[in-house]
Amino acid sequence: MVKTINHLMGPMARRVRLMVSRGVIAVVNDALKEQGVQVSLLAEEVRDCERYQEYGFTSVPLPGAEAITVCVGGSRDHAVVIATGDRRYRLKGLQGGEVALYDDQGQAIRLGRDKEITVTGCDKLTAVVAVETKITCPTVIAVASAKVRLETPLLEVTGEIKDRCDSDGKSMESMRTTYDSHTHPENNVNGGSTNAPNQTMG
């Protein structure tokens, strides 16, 4: 009786055991509507699988990355990848609760526990915005070792602009006042000074 039950249940038990597997990604096809990956599972078992990702997030894992596959209905012919990881490049040293995006080139965006978002490892940071970019904060600091270039037909500033190159920190307002009231010594025998400019900066 027991042998009969084992004989009947054996195939089902094997399918349950093989329902979830670990594998290594060999090839990725990102041109499909659902990304396709070729995964090496058991010894000499290679499967073409669909790789499911969370909506709004996508990536292309490198060959050698690891995968967790689930065989739908226990069928090895219908395996899908539900998770991938790559221990070679995983960003380490995060604190509990922190989140990060990373790649194999060392580029990373880290959401720190100190409420600081840090972007590291990139050579160029580009934002393409169709209508408006707005930053609301008490202080904006831009540090450039070479130059800061503003490619726009109009720079509009509603607050004060202050020059910190000199120790007294002249503002644009004080420079306008100086220009609008300045005079020059006359270069003639009568001496005296010129009048203030008849066209002011104000």
Pair 67, 56: CB distance under 8 Å: no
The predicted structure's pLDDT at residue 152: 82
Asked if residue 97 belongs to a domain, the reply is no
Asked if residue 60 belongs to a domain, the reply is yes
Asked if residue 29 belongs to a domain, the reply is yes
CATH number of the domain at 64, please. 2.40.50.140
Residue 120 CB partners (closer than 8 Å, separation 6+) = 106, 107, 108, 110
**H/E element, 113:** none
Q: How confident is the model at residue 15 (pLDDT cuts 50, 70, 90)?
A: low
Asked if residue 58 belongs to a domain, the reply is yes
pTM exceeds 0.75 for this model: no
Asked if residue 16 belongs to a domain, the reply is yes
Mean pLDDT lowest among 44-53, 99-108, 155-164, 187-196: 187-196
Asked if residue 186 belongs to a domain, the reply is no
What is the rounded distance in angstroms from the CA atom of residue 105 to the CA atom of residue 107?
A: 6
Asked if residue 20 belongs to a domain, the reply is yes
Number of domains comprising the chain = 1
Higher per-residue confidence, 22 vs 18: 22
The range of the structural domain enclosing residue 77 comes to: 2-85
Alpha-helical runs (H) found in the chain? 2-17, 172-181
- 153 pLDDT more than 80: yes
Asked if residue 173 belongs to a domain, the reply is no
